[in-house]
Chains A and B, each alone.
Chain A
Amino acid sequence: MPDVVAPFVEIENVVFRRDERVIYEGLSATIPRGRISAIVGPSGTGKTTLLRLIGGQLRPESGDIRVDGISVQGLKRDALFTLRKRMGMLFQSGALFAELSVFENVAFPLRVHTTLDHDLIRLVVLMKLEAVGLRGAVDLMPAELSGGMQRRVALARAIALDPEMIMYDEPFVGQDPIGLGVLLTLVKQLNQALGLTSVVVSHDLQETLSIADHVIMIANNRVAFEGSPADMQASADPLVEQFLNGRPDGPVRFHYPAPPISEAVS
């Protein structure tokens, strides 16, 4: 696969701090258009934070994040909301609106942002639910669905407005093997069928790498690796190697920084 695809998201030299803690220190990466990009890395390195920066929910201290050429951090509230119509996001918990039925949840973005009439909305909602295999659940309430099904409904909601990009925040967490397989297939299918730019944040490494075209690994406040999954497997970088093979000690240390044990116990 040629790797010269126009980028959809460009992240340049981003510095981000939460309170005193440095999350990113000059992070740069690109997310190619129409491909599946995986953002991987040890827990607590701020993978979800990156999605929130792209979506403009957080603002970087310095640096530039461009979505389809538009600088996100400079946007006024209204312009930001307009840009967000072009992105969908699937949250870790699904984040369905608890007081609305499955149908109303998927219809929500359509009702807010379009002037489609009732019949047309129904048609679109049923199509989106069909795509995630849950047309039969259209009249249920979110509380009646399993975690995996909730995530699929949330996925249907995220693609309701036919966004150009969809961001998945830890979509595979807490899934049994079947649910995981279903979600993997869906991510892949949606990407191919709709030509979506997909960004998957996950630490289920092997599963994510199996569908990804592009990998960004974040560690130690910056990008530790960016390239194709094959390149990643072949990488000689000790950090990448430790992460791929799941070794407890290496560049990412097993011990939390502390004075030597001889001092602590004397």
Chain B
Amino acid sequence: MIERIRGLGRSTLVQVGDLGRASLLLFQAIAGRSQVGVHWRLTIDQIYAVGVLSLSIIIVSGLFIGMVLGLQGYTILADYGSEQALGQMVALSLTRELGPVVTALLFAGRAGSALTAEIGLMKATEQLASLEMIGVDPLRRVVAPRFWAGVISLPILSLIFVSVGCLGGALVGVSWLGVDAGSFWANMQASVDFWNDVFNGIIKSVVFAVVVTWIAVYQGYDLVPTSEGIARATTRTVVYASLAVLCFDFFLTAVMFGEV
């Protein structure tokens, strides 16, 4: 019994310590003197690596999710004779929920794991240590550009996901199932509010971006520099980031849409 309580205490301490180290890492990487000018190029490179290279998976997933929404929505709405509301349904589900959440989950799997593995490999091959010895802070040089790239890319990817999803919904609803194009788009336009729906969706994806990228760079920076350590840390990134996204989504939704 005592042993169990001790174990609980120990694991709590480890977790609090982890959180502290992660916060310190983020603080040291992005706080203090701004080096945006010097590191802008590096950030651009990283935006290409985490953002542009994630485009294909985001577009394909967005298209399919939109098409599924169109199909499922149509069968349900048709029961009540309100197929015209399909555009509204597809757009609202995407902007409020599916866009930010699914994009963040895909991003954690595609870009987050890659970030962790890359930083981890740099640690394992002593590249981080050698940056330090050259007198360059790896937190600023390696971690900060990757962090900013994630924070900038994910919301944009999320917007692209939503747009492509709407097109997918239209493809199925209008071109295939025969919903009137005019009412599909008009309903969508009338019901989606920029501040309430689109902007809240963007806020969500900015929060997810910070959480996912932060977890990814921390796991990479803090891992045990062996092949096993890198494998574990990559898995942890995807698991923790996905859980964090879903958990934060609930609270954000409660705050944003809970009073209606």
A and B part of one assembly = yes
A residues near B (Cβ < 8 Å) are 52, 55, 57, 77, 81-82, 84-85, 87-89, 91-93, 95-98, 108-109, 112-113, 154, 157
Other than the given A93-B125, A93-B126, 17 more pairs (CB < 8 A) read: A52-B129, A55-B132, A57-B133, A81-B137, A84-B132, A84-B133, A85-B134, A88-B133, A91-B126, A91-B130, A92-B126, A95-B127, A98-B125, A109-B135, A112-B136, A113-B134, A113-B135
* CB pair B134 A84 closer than 8 Å: yes
Top-4 shortest CB links A-B: A95-B126, A95-B130, A89-B133, A91-B126
Give 5 CB contacts A-B under 8 Å: A57-B133, A84-B134, A85-B134, A96-B127, A98-B127
Q: Which residue on A lies nearest to B127, using beta carbons?
A: A95
| Cα distance, A130 to B125, chains bound together (Å) | 25
Q: Which residue on B lies nearest to A77, using beta carbons?
A: B137
Number of A-B contacts (CB under 8 A): 46
- Return the CB mask of B124-147 against A: 1 if under 8 Å, else 0: 011101101111110000000000
| Cα distance, A96 to B135, chains bound together (Å) | 15
Q: Which residue on B lies nearest to A167, using beta carbons?
A: B133
* CB pair A57 B129 closer than 8 Å: yes
* CB pair A57 B132 closer than 8 Å: yes
Q: Count residues of B near A (Cβ-Cβ below 8 Å).
A: 11
* CB pair A89 B130 closer than 8 Å: yes
Q: Which residue on B lies nearest to A108, using beta carbons?
A: B134
Nearest-Cβ distance from residue B123 to partner chain A, whole angstroms: 10
| Cα distance, A95 to B129, chains bound together (Å) | 8
Chain B residues closer than 8 Å to A93, beta-carbon distance: 125-126
Q: Which residue on B lies nearest to A81, using beta carbons?
A: B135
Nearest-Cβ distance from residue B126 to partner chain A, whole angstroms: 4
Nearest-Cβ distance from residue A80 to partner chain B, whole angstroms: 8
Nearest-Cβ distance from residue A88 to partner chain B, whole angstroms: 7
| Cα distance, A85 to B131, chains bound together (Å) | 11
| Cα distance, A88 to B134, chains bound together (Å) | 7
| Cα distance, A96 to B137, chains bound together (Å) | 16
Chain A residues closer than 8 Å to B126, beta-carbon distance: 91-93, 95
Nearest-Cβ distance from residue A105 to partner chain B, whole angstroms: 10
Nearest-Cβ distance from residue A222 to partner chain B, whole angstroms: 25
Chain A residues closer than 8 Å to B127, beta-carbon distance: 95-98
| Cα distance, A183 to B163, chains bound together (Å) | 59
* CB pair B133 A55 closer than 8 Å: yes
| Cα distance, A112 to B133, chains bound together (Å) | 13
| Cα distance, A9 to B127, chains bound together (Å) | 25
Chain B residues closer than 8 Å to A77, beta-carbon distance: 137
Chain A residues closer than 8 Å to B132, beta-carbon distance: 55, 57, 84
| Cα distance, A57 to B138, chains bound together (Å) | 12
Chain B residues closer than 8 Å to A96, beta-carbon distance: 127
* CB pair B135 A91 closer than 8 Å: no
Chain A residues closer than 8 Å to B129, beta-carbon distance: 52, 57, 91, 95
Chain B residues closer than 8 Å to A89, beta-carbon distance: 130, 133
Nearest-Cβ distance from residue A85 to partner chain B, whole angstroms: 5
| Cα distance, A89 to B127, chains bound together (Å) | 12
* CB pair A112 B125 closer than 8 Å: no
| Cα distance, A93 to B127, chains bound together (Å) | 9
| Cα distance, A55 to B135, chains bound together (Å) | 10
Q: Which residue on B lies nearest to A91, using beta carbons?
A: B126
- Return the CB mask of B10-54 against A: 1 if under 8 Å, else 0: 000000000000000000000000000000000000000000000
Interface set, chain B 71-115, CB cutoff 8 A to A: none
| Cα distance, A57 to B130, chains bound together (Å) | 10
| Cα distance, A157 to B133, chains bound together (Å) | 11
Interface set, chain B 123-182, CB cutoff 8 A to A: 125-127, 129-130, 132-137
Chain B residues closer than 8 Å to A84, beta-carbon distance: 132-135
Nearest-Cβ distance from residue A241 to partner chain B, whole angstroms: 34
| Cα distance, A154 to B126, chains bound together (Å) | 12
| Cα distance, A82 to B136, chains bound together (Å) | 9
Nearest-Cβ distance from residue A142 to partner chain B, whole angstroms: 10
When the two chains form the complex, which single residue of B125, B133, B137 contacts A87, counting CB atoms closer than 8 Å?
B133
| Cα distance, A113 to B127, chains bound together (Å) | 18
Nearest-Cβ distance from residue A61 to partner chain B, whole angstroms: 18
Chain B residues closer than 8 Å to A92, beta-carbon distance: 126
Chain A residues closer than 8 Å to B125, beta-carbon distance: 93, 95, 98
* CB pair A85 B135 closer than 8 Å: yes
| Cα distance, A98 to B135, chains bound together (Å) | 18
Q: Which residue on A lies nearest to B132, using beta carbons?
A: A57
